[in-house]
Structure formats: C-alpha cells, structure tokens
Amino acid sequence: METLQEFKELAYRAFYWTSFSPDKRGQQCITEHEDKLNEDLQNMPESEKQRYIENYKKLFSSWLHSHSNCASSAVTGGSGFNVNRAKRANDRERAKYNEFSEWRTKALKSIAKRIEDSKPESEKRNENWKYLEKDILHSAAVIHGINTGVERGCSKALFVSSIYNKVETYAKRGDTEIVQMAIDCIRNFNQTMSVVITERHKFFKLLEIAENKKERKAENSERENSEVTFPGGKVVQNWAEDRIQILFDEKPQMETIDLLKKNAFKWAPSIGVWQRKNTQNALYAVKNILIYLRNKEDGTH
C-alpha cells in the first residue's frame, strides 16, 4: 500500500491558518488522498505505477504548499486580516488543486486507453460481445415480460428498436461474426422463452448488411488513397479506413477548427488528423473548407 505520510508536516502547515485542528485536518487530507491513490493503483499495470506515483506526489505536495498560504479570519482573528491577499491565496490554491485533479483524470484515462490498446484482439472482441449480449438479453427479458403481461407501461417497439440499433452498429462495421452471434441469441430466446423479434423484422437482414459492408471494406483496402494538397496541408481520401482526413502542417487557427467541427470533422490525436466518414457529404464539406482556406490565404475571406 502506497503512503503519503511523508507529507504529514506539510499537511499540518497547509491547514495551520484555516483549521482549529490543523493536525487532524492535515491527517484527514492525507488519508483521503492516500485512499484515492491506492484505488487508482489497484488495477494499474506495474509498468505504469512508478511514474504515476511520482507525479501524484509532486502535484499533491504542490497543492499543499499553495494551501499553506491560505488563511481564514475565523482562525487568525479579524483584526488586520488582509482580505485581498487571502483571496489571491485562495485563487492560487484552487488553481493548484484543479491542476492536480485534471492531471489525475487525464492520466487515468490515458492509462486505461493504453491497457485497452494492449489487449489481444480476441479479448477485445469477447468483451464487446459480452457487453452486447448483456444488453440484448436485458431488452429481450423486458419484451418477454410485456408478452406475458408481467411488464406494464413499457413500449415493446422501443426495446426492439434498442436491440436493432445496437446490432446495426456492428453490421455497419462489417462485423459479421458479432452480428451472427446476436441473431443466434435472439433466435434462441425466441425458441426458449417467447418471440421477442419476429423473423419478418429487418433485424434478421442485418447479417446481409454486415456481409456487404465487409465485402466493400475488403475492396476498399486494395484501393489507392487519393490526396489533394493545399497551402499548409493536404486532404487524404483513405479508403482502407473509410475516412476523409485533413492534415495540417501546423495547428490551424480557432476559426478553422470551428469550421471543421461544424462540418462534423473530429480530431484524431493518435494519428494527428481531422477526419470523418468517407461519404459524398464529406467530400462536399471538404470542398467548402478548401474554398474557405483558399480565400483566407488570398485575404478575401
């Protein structure tokens, strides 16, 4: 178990002018943040722990240092209490704690992503299926309850639509394996419990959609990407990834970023591009963006 007791004296000083019991308040603060630190470390790979602990302690101690400049008139007494100086100290303390808190959130998110990325593809697929299967069976159980009169006040169509939409997401990715498992799951439920989705429903056409999408992806993977350059960057029609991608030599100005977002482009930090799905609408949006950039370059925008 990782400890923060090395900061006991610092925590005492941090609350000296803001608490009538700085020793108790300081120890409480240390205990709270020890618990958070050890909770963070619980499922963290060994390779990530040391750097995380070092940064955690660095930012925690920095916050305690800033807190030691804070004061409460209730503790120090009102006579000669400098309100403006206290406010500035409080503002600096808040900024330091926000820095600490935001770092923790981002660090845990980054570590979680690295853990997810390092998983074998088979493990990822199994987890995806288990998550989807749980959703399907939950909705199917509600529909079964509606069929048998146990569930009242619920919309059967709403739960059928929920199942369809979730499986359709995988069909549009060309994931024939998961779509087939989802269809088998519903058919099994239909046979063993009650019919929750009839065979006439478009749900059972999702495998055909998935197969067509998979075939198109295979064809696109063999197509050569097309590129168009413009002053300061280029546009790539990436067939293998089914994306229109815009790459800038330097970070674009805020008005350009706003235009990209307005046209449904999203920033992909892992590959350093702005991108959206490769569609005719995306090509039309790129055309307008390039016109804007060209006009801006010419000084006419």
Q: Check whether residue 113 and residue 87 sit in a common domain.
A: yes
* Residue at which a domain ends, from 118, 149, 168: 118
pLDDT of 270:
85
Q: Check whether residue 83 and residue 125 sit in a common domain.
A: no
CA gap 296, 292 in Å, rounded: 6
Q: Check whether residue 81 and residue 132 sit in a common domain.
A: no
If DSSP codes are grouped into helix, strand and coil, which group holds residue 174? coil
Tens-level pLDDT at each residue, the chain (301 residues): 899 999 999 999 999 999 999 999 999 999 999 999 999 999 899 999 999 999 999 999 999 999 999 999 888 887 778 889 999 999 999 999 999 999 999 999 999 999 998 999 999 999 999 999 999 999 999 999 999 999 988 999 999 999 999 999 999 999 999 999 999 999 999 999 999 999 999 999 999 999 999 998 888 888 999 999 999 999 999 998 889 999 999 999 999 999 999 999 999 988 999 999 999 999 999 999 999 998 887 766 5
Q: Check whether residue 12 and residue 98 sit in a common domain.
A: yes
Q: Check whether residue 196 and residue 250 sit in a common domain.
A: no
Within 8 A by CB and 6+ apart from 164, the residues are 197, 201, 202, 203, 206
Give, to the nearest 10 degrees, the angle between helix 22-41 and helix 46-67. 160
Q: Check whether residue 200 and residue 113 sit in a common domain.
A: no
Please work out, in degrees rounded to the nearest 5, the angle formed at the alpha carbon of residue 26 by the alpha carbons of 22 and 30: 175
pLDDT of 221:
84
CA gap 204, 207 in Å, rounded: 7
Indicate the pTM of the whole model.
0.64
If DSSP codes are grouped into helix, strand and coil, which group holds residue 225? coil
Q: What is the span of the domain harbouring residue 28?
A: 5-118
Q: Check whether residue 191 and residue 279 sit in a common domain.
A: no
Taken in order 88, 93, 96, 97, is the CA torsion positive or negative? negative
Q: How far is CA 160 from CA 149, 166, 198, in A?
A: 17, 10, 10
Contact predicate 116/140, CB 8 Å: no
Q: Which residue is it, tokens 């970070």? A: 251
Contact predicate 237/244, CB 8 Å: yes
Contact predicate 99/107, CB 8 Å: no
pLDDT of 301:
55
* Residue at which a domain ends, from 219, 240, 260: 219
Q: Check whether residue 193 and residue 214 sit in a common domain.
A: yes
Q: Check whether residue 17 and residue 67 sit in a common domain.
A: yes
CA gap 238, 234 in Å, rounded: 12
Number of domains in the chain: 3
pLDDT of 133:
98
Q: Check whether residue 53 and residue 154 sit in a common domain.
A: no
Q: Check whether residue 237 and residue 294 sit in a common domain.
A: yes
CA gap 267, 165 in Å, rounded: 25
| 284 burial type by CB count under 10 A (0-12 exposed, 13-18 middle, 19+ buried) | exposed
pLDDT of 15:
97
* Residue at which a domain ends, from 169, 189, 219: 219
